[in-house]
Chains A and B, each alone.
Chain A
Amino acid sequence: MIEWNGNKLAEEISNHISDSVVSSDDHSVYISKEKIYEVLKFLKETSGFSFDLLSSITAVDYIDHFEVVYHLKSLITLSKATIKVKLGFGREDQPEIDSSYNLWKGADFQEREVFDLMGIHFVNHPNLKRILLWDGFPGHPLRKDFVTNSQSVVDDGEDK
């Protein structure tokens, strides 16, 4: 399998969808938040890319912004690519991004997981609710500003 060069892929994308590529490096392409759905749709449905398998969606908290990372794979062209989106500058409480559920059903649980643990809202997701933690859990634990409460360790009933 071949990995797409980020710069090359950025060129291809910006030729078709204007104002979508923010920057690029050797491994990944940074797409603007507004155009992400359009770009993913383009990548999925255009022959020559045909990214039919959404390998993984995840998000990283870089303190000043969040980054949603898409790892795409293509069974047809036997290639893979990394798409990144920067969002939520200035510690937005609820950064929003378009859901890719309508392109890949595989995004269902992964987007819910990102929402649950990182607090990124996926617009147009049909069932966006917490998946691993319970409803009403305070905060989103994978954010860097989440305070782990050491007091919540279960008392193991030590006999004195």
Chain B
Amino acid sequence: MSIKSEPITINLGPQHPSTHGVFRMRVTFDGETIIDVEPIFGYLHRGTEKLAEERTYTQVVTLTDRMDYVSSMLNNQGYILALEKLSNITPEPRGVWLRMIASELQRIASHLVAVGFLIQDLGAWGTPLTYAMREREKILQMFEMLCGARITNSYLRPGGVFMDAPEQFWVALKDFVYDFPSKVDELEKLLTSNEIIFSRTKDIAVLTPEQAINASITGPILRSTGVSWDLRKDDTYDFYDQVKFDIPTHSAGDNYSRYLLRVQEMRESLKIVKQCVENIEPGPVRPHHDEVPFLVRPPKGDCYVAIEGSKGELGFYLVSDGSISPYRWHVRSSSLINLTLLRDMLIGTLFGDLFVTFGGIDINMGEVDR
């Protein structure tokens, strides 16, 4: 006996509790099984790339904050690195160490958000999310000490950071570094061995390395398929060649390994922060005003710099025509490109897996739409 059924199409989003912003998916179901997905973006498009063309190079830093608003320090870092390469600025060592500390803390914060919301999508009523947010709160407070803002930092400047860290930052950082591993352990105790999470995420939305690389997927998702590819090591920038850390990889390539990988990356980031604190030495945090003026005028040319963002390869393509504002500024947003295989990952899974997979990819609509 066969039941005659008819596919049903549902618009999930742009207003939906778990689309992580204003994202829309036109999903076709056969019963509970997904047979087609079409992602539709652009609800948060603000024309950042066009806006940058009428701002000076320093003013563009404020635009990068607003792209991926849960990892704005990393966006700052990528953009500043591109600008430094384009205009041949040598950064001050203390500034570089400081921005490495800031961006690794930001990576921890971003992964905390990713893990928290992934579990939220699984249906845990906010408990792991609040535990994650509790830790993120400490990081945001440290950012407030550093630069007076919690989300839209604008902390980095060409050649380093805008101001040295205050005394209380180091105290708070010491507390955090001491405290954080036990909190991650707590989060892991709640989540990692939980059978429901395990059975719901294991072997769902599996990607092979070839598929992932072919679709330009980078970051934790690529590493969860077993490819040891991290731009911090493979295309090293700042002083990442002077610190020791591991690149955790998993070979499963499913949702569970993505979750576990993020937890491990948080520990690795903490390791980097510790080493940065050991290595940092007193000195100026940015070049003198005479060397790097407020209005940077890079020579004519273009450059592409990619860093390992929290969500993947975060690239900035800058074209200069010698004036005070970029001629063209392109952002290679990892969030957008990581969604390329969303359809292939979702087809054949159930409704319950949809948002779990989506949360596992960990996108940020601010960066997808820009």
Contacts and interface: CB of A to CB of B under 8 A. Distances in A.
Interface size on B, as a range, is 35 or more
Instruction: Place the interface of chain A in its size category.
Output: 20 to 34
Contacts, number: 89
Interface stretch (A13-21, A33-41, A131-139): A131-139
Nearest to B47: A141
A83 to B, nearest CB: 12
Interface string A116-145: 010000000000001111100000011000
B234 A106 contact: no
B45 A52 contact: no
B229 A104 contact: no
A57 to B, nearest CB: 9
B306 A131 contact: no
Contacts of A104: 214-216
A80 interface: yes
A1 B45 contact: no
Nearest to B46: A132
Given A132-B42, A141-B47, A142-B50, A106 B315 contact: no
A41 B142 CA distance: 48
B336 interface: yes
B339 interface: yes
A129 B47 CA distance: 18
A105 B41 contact: no
B223 to A, nearest CB: 12
Interface stretch (A4-12, A87-95, A107-115): A107-115
Contacts of B214: 52, 104-106
A1 B235 contact: yes
Nearest to B227: A75
B9 interface: no
Contacts of A55: 216, 304, 306, 313, 315, 332
A134 B369 CA distance: 12
A58 B234 contact: no
B42 A105 contact: no
Contacts of B242: none
A22 interface: no
B340 interface: yes
Nearest to A60: B328
A105 B327 contact: no
Contact of A109 (B49, B213, B327, B337): B337
B315 A105 contact: no
Contacts of A148: 50
Nearest to B42: A132
B277 interface: no
Interface string B200-211: 000000000001
B317 A61 contact: no
A61 B370 CA distance: 19
B330 A106 contact: no
Contact of A141 (B50, B340, B341): B50
B45 A133 contact: yes
Contacts of B49: 117, 142
Given A82-B304, A113-B336, A117-B49, A56 B315 contact: yes
10 contacts: A1-B235, A53-B213, A55-B304, A58-B317, A58-B332, A60-B302, A71-B315, A71-B317, A106-B215, A113-B336
Interface of A: 1, 27, 52-56, 58, 60-61, 69, 71, 75, 78, 80, 82, 104-110, 113, 117, 130-134, 141-142, 146, 148
Given A55-B332, A58-B330, A104-B214, 14 more contacts: A52-B213, A56-B317, A58-B332, A60-B302, A69-B317, A78-B234, A105-B341, A106-B214, A106-B215, A106-B340, A109-B336, A132-B41, A132-B45, A134-B42
